[in-house]
Amino acid sequence: MDIITLDNVSYYYKTYDENNDVSYAVGVEGVSLSIEEGAFVALVGHNGSGKSTLAKLLNGLILPKSGTVTVAGLSTADKKNLFEIRKNVGMVFQNPDNQMVASIVEEDVAFGPENLGIPQPEIVERVSQALEQVGMTEYAKRSPHKLSGGQKQRIAIAGALAIRPKVIVFDESTAMLDPLGRREVLNVAKQLNKQGMTVVLITHFMEEVLDCGKVVVMSGGHVVKIGSPMEIFDDDRLLSSVGLDAPRSIALSRKLKSAGFNVTENCIDAKVLGGEVCQNLTNK
Amino acid sequence: MLKDVTFGQYYPSNSFVHKMDARIKFLLCLVFMVGIFFVQSFVVFGFITVFLIILIASSRVPLKSILKSIKGIIVLLLLTVVLNIFFTKGDPEKDKLLVSWWIFEIWDAGLYFAAKMFLRLVYLVMGSSVLTLTTTPVDLTHAIESLLKPLKVIRVPVHELALIMSLTLSFIPSLMEETDRIINAQKARGADFDTGGLVKRAKAFIPILIPLLVGGFRRAEELANAMNSRCYEGATKRTQMRVMKLTWRDLVGTLVVLLFFVTVFVIFGMKSQWINANVDWLYINDVNWLYF
Ligand SMILES: Nc1ncnc2c1ncn2[C@@H]1O[C@H](COP(=O)(O)OP(=O)(O)O)[C@@H](O)[C@H]1O
Ligand SMILES: [Mg+2]
């Protein structure tokens, strides 16, 4: 069953030039997309390709100028639906510092449930469960700003989880993190998906989409291709036209193959590839 | 440069005062501050001193941290003392003129008055710093929100005010980091913040303020998105995770403070006939120690 459906959605930003004349910039244009419940969908594209615009359309932060966005059967166009929609679609943004509303970890995580108006004992339960899900239980009473970037993002994830959404959208949540922090956040996302959560992962690190079921490639506000990660990586022309690169290990394995090496094509794991290259060299 | 504002001046400890409810501490601090302003005599200041010593001892906050807070008002203190000494005109009938030079006159009444003003200000700051040293800003925010709740009836946006305080607290650390970063970036481009006159130095700060402001707007937008995404719709049906519970400590603390002030003021504070009649023993060497 589809939890989110976008039907021919367009969004334009109003901009003003020096003479105060109004013009419109394309955010997204003519996007149709459906996301199945429990799916792990990646959204990739160059800077300015419309990824964040699409993300904000998913929970009604912005409303489509034309077309419809439907979440769990509710259209975002109706203001009365927004509360219910946001209960269903959690969102984690790029900059961890700009999503903290409280200066104590557990109070930040409690912000969502407090807004839902649920009774106090249940808030406590949800907060401790959410912190456990992201492995941050021991930091409950700390202040967030001394934590690492990856830890802060895990707090932000816990804040979304405490609302108990069906879908969680990561809008380049790993972009500002070091490799370790990226791995932390990515692992949490994967683990949540295993537990049944629908995950929409927006990124421009192609390595991160390897485990996704479906990859949506965006360019200039349009969806230009939807396919499995391998289908996307295979399409060299598409990738270079939208300014993206296949993960290095895959690109390398292809080059080696065409140079006559006996290696697995589209090898994801750099270690395996290395082993195979050594094998080839000793055999020669 | 970076200090953890979440804990402000907070001095962590498990003392009696630390464990008291922030709301009660806040109210008692108000009582203390108001009380101080009614104190007229040095004898009562003596009692207040004893009270403060007991308070500080039971809060287990080092005296040094409390005295540090006085440093912040030193200019104000000096100004008050000097002005009061030189500009208090005594009453020739009962006060003594000590020094007279040009337009300046120093009366004994002026000295006493300046000394009392000095003590009042110092005790005021000491009392309030006991509050901020034993209570985290977060707890204070909750306390203020809870205490102001009745004002909702007259449409004071209590929840919003508390939210603003809480957002500010969580924003300050990243704002300071941001400032540091911008200053360093401008220094790397050759900006000079440390030499030149006041105007030149003030001008040097414009290239810091503008990026800060721009960053602030961006943050505000992102924060609004993050809050909306987490189902924020104002105060209407919000609940709270934090429960504030009163304990025996709050009862004991309140009783001690109130009893102290009531007793002191009943015995020393009132100018009524009845009191004067009962405190004859306070006249020593023809000086009424009550008003000295
Ligand atoms: N607030 C805005 N005002 C005007 N134009 C915007 C605004 N936000 C985004 N855009 C434009 O919309 C397009 C899509 O942006 P965005 O969705 O943020 O892309 P991405 O997240 O993929 O980098 C870009 O061309 C960008 O310049
Ligand atoms: Mg973006």
DSSP states of A89-121 = EEEE-S-GGGG--SSSHHHHHHHHHHHHT--HH
pLDDT tens column, B211-250: 889 888 989 999 999 999 999 998 888 899 988 889 999 9
Distance A147 CA to ligand 2 centre (A): 24
Instruction: Give me the pLDDT at residue B191, please.
Output: 76
Claim to verify: residue B53 and residue B175 sit in the same structural domain: no
The residue of chain B nearest to residue A120, with distances taken between CA atoms, is B241
CA A25 to ligand 1 center in whole angstroms: 8
pLDDT of residue B30: 93
Name the band, by pLDDT with cuts 50, 70 and 90, for residue B274. Answer: very low
Pick the range with the lowest mean pLDDT from A109-118, B134-143, B281-290.
Answer: B281-290
Position B106 pLDDT exceeds 50: yes
Does a structural domain hold residue B140? no
Instruction: Please tell me which of the candidates B7, B229, B237 has its beta carbon nearest to residue A91.
Output: B229
Residue B4 has a pLDDT of: 58
Q: How far is residue A189's CA from residue A204's CA, in Å, rounded to a whole number?
A: 16
| Between A183 and B1, residue with greater pLDDT | A183
Instruction: List the beta bridge partners of residue A15.
Output: A23
Residues in a beta bridge with B61: none
Q: Identify whether residues B127 and B263 lie together within a single domain.
A: yes
Distance from residue B85's CA to the centre of ligand 2 (Å): 65
Confidence of residue B278 (pLDDT cuts 50, 70, 90): very low
Distance A222 CA to ligand 2 centre (A): 14
Q: Which one has a higher pLDDT value, B131 or B187? A: B131
Q: pTM, whole model, 2 decimals?
A: 0.84
Q: What ipTM was reported for this prediction?
A: 0.91
Rg of chain B over Cα atoms, rounded to whole angstroms, equals: 25
pLDDT of B276 > 80? The answer is no
pLDDT, one tens digit per residue, over A253-272 is 878 888 888 887 777 777 88
Query: Does residue B77 share a domain with residue B125?
Result: yes
What is the percentage of chain B residues whose pLDDT exceeds 90?
Answer: 31
Q: Rounded to an integer, what distance in angstroms lies between the CA atom of residue B139 and that of residue B136?
A: 5
CA–CA separation, A20 and B225 (whole Å) = 26
Mean pLDDT taken over chain B: 83
Residue B292 lies in a domain: no
Assess contact for B246 and B28: CB atoms under 8 A: no
Distance CA B47, CA B210 (A): 52
Of B226, B241, B243, the CB nearest to A99: B226
Under the banding of pLDDT at 50, 70 and 90, the label for residue B277 is very low
Range of the domain at B163: 157-238
Instruction: Quickly state the pLDDT bin for B283 (edges 50, 70, 90).
Output: very low
Instruction: Mark whether B127 and B261 lie in a shared domain.
Output: yes
* Same-domain status, B3 and B130: yes
Asked if B108 and B3 sit in the same domain, the reply is yes
Ligand 1 atom nearest residue A172's Cα: 21
Which residue is closest to B221 within chain A, CA to CA? Answer: A98
pLDDT 10s digits, A151-164? 999 999 999 999 99
The residues placing their C-beta within 5 Å of ligand 2, an ion, are A 52
What is the model's pLDDT at position B258? 92
pLDDT of residue A1: 84
Residues B253 and B123 occupy one common structural domain: yes
Which pLDDT belongs to residue B269? 58
Confidence band for B275, pLDDT divided at 50, 70 and 90: very low
Q: Which of B222, B231, B242 sits opposite A93 (nearest CB)?
A: B222
Cβ-Cβ contacts under 8 Å, A119 against chain B? 239
**Minimum CA–CA partner of B137 in chain A:** A103
| A3-7, A99-103, B4-8, B122-126: the lowest-pLDDT one | B4-8
Domain count, chain B: 2
B121, B19: one domain: yes
pLDDT tier for residue B111 given thresholds of 50, 70 and 90: confident
- Nearest ligand, measured from the Cα of A218: 1
Per-residue pLDDT band for B183 (boundaries 50, 70, 90) equals confident
Residue B144 lies in a domain: no
Residue B112: is its pLDDT beyond 60? yes
Interface of B with A in 203-242 (CB under 8 A): 218-219, 222-223, 225-233, 237-242
Give residue B5's pLDDT: 60
Residues B127, B174 within the same domain: no
Taking CA–CA distances from A59, the nearest residue in chain B reads: B229
Task: Please report whether residue B212 resides in a domain.
Answer: yes
The C-alpha atoms of residue A48 and residue A27 are separated, in whole angstroms, by 8
Same domain, B267 and B125: yes
Q: For position B287, what pLDDT does the model report?
A: 52
User: Of A67, A3, A1, nearest to A32 (Cα)?
Assistant: A67
Q: Which residues contact B67 (CB under 8 A, 6 or more apart)?
A: none
CA distance A210 to chain B (A): 28
For the beta sheet containing A66-71, the strands, ordered from the edge strand earlier in sequence to the opposite edge, are: A22-36, A2-16, A66-71, A74-75
Residue B73 lies inside a defined structural domain of this protein: yes
Q: Smallest Cα–Cα separation from B59: which of B5, B11, B26? A: B11
The rounded mean pLDDT for chain A is 92
- Same-domain status, B121 and B50: yes
**Tell me: the pLDDT tens digits for B228-238?**
999 999 888 88
Higher-pLDDT residue of B290 and A77 is: A77
The amino acid sitting at A111 is F
pLDDT in tens, A227-255: 999 889 888 889 889 988 888 888 788 78
Q: Are residues B103 and B9 in the same domain?
A: yes
Q: Is residue B1 part of a domain?
A: yes
- Among A49, A91, A174, A216, name the best residue to mutate to test ligand 1's pocket (greatest count of ligand atoms within 8 A of Cβ): A49
B144/chain A closest Cα distance in angstroms = 16
State residue A275's pLDDT score: 85
Residue A84 has pLDDT above 90, yes or no: yes
Note the pLDDT of residue A220.
93
- A83 close to B233: Cβ distance less than 8 angstroms: yes
Measured by CA distance, the residue closest to atom 6 of ligand 1 is A13
For the ranges A121-125, A274-278, B35-39, B197-201, the maximum mean pLDDT occurs at A121-125
Question: What is the residue with the minimal CA distance to atom 11 of ligand 1?
Answer: A27
Q: Looking at residue B177, what is its pLDDT?
A: 84
pLDDT at position B282 is 47
pLDDT, residue B7, reads 66
Please name the residue whose Cα sits nearest to atom 26 of ligand 1: A48
Q: Is the pLDDT of residue B290 over 70?
A: no
Q: Is the pLDDT of residue B138 over 80?
A: yes
Q: Give me the mean pLDDT over the B159-187 stretch.
A: 87
pLDDT at A72: 94
**Mean pLDDT, residues B265-288 taken together:** 52
Q: Is residue B145 domain-resident?
A: no
Which residues of A touch chain B, with CB atoms under 8 Å apart?
56, 59, 61, 83, 86-87, 89-91, 93, 95, 97-104, 106-108, 110-120, 123-124, 127, 143-146, 156, 159-160, 163
Interface test with chain B among A97, A139, A176, by most B beta carbons within 10 Å: A97
The string of pLDDT tens digits covering residues A29-71 is 999 999 999 999 999 999 999 999 999 999 999 999 999 999 9
Please check the confidence at residue B3 and state whether its pLDDT lies above 70. no
Q: Are B225 and A56 in contact (CB under 8 A)?
A: yes
Sign of the Cα pseudo-torsion (A248, A251, A254, A258, in order): negative
**Residue B290, in any domain of the structure:** no
Looking at per-residue pLDDT, the higher value among B89 and B29 belongs to: B29
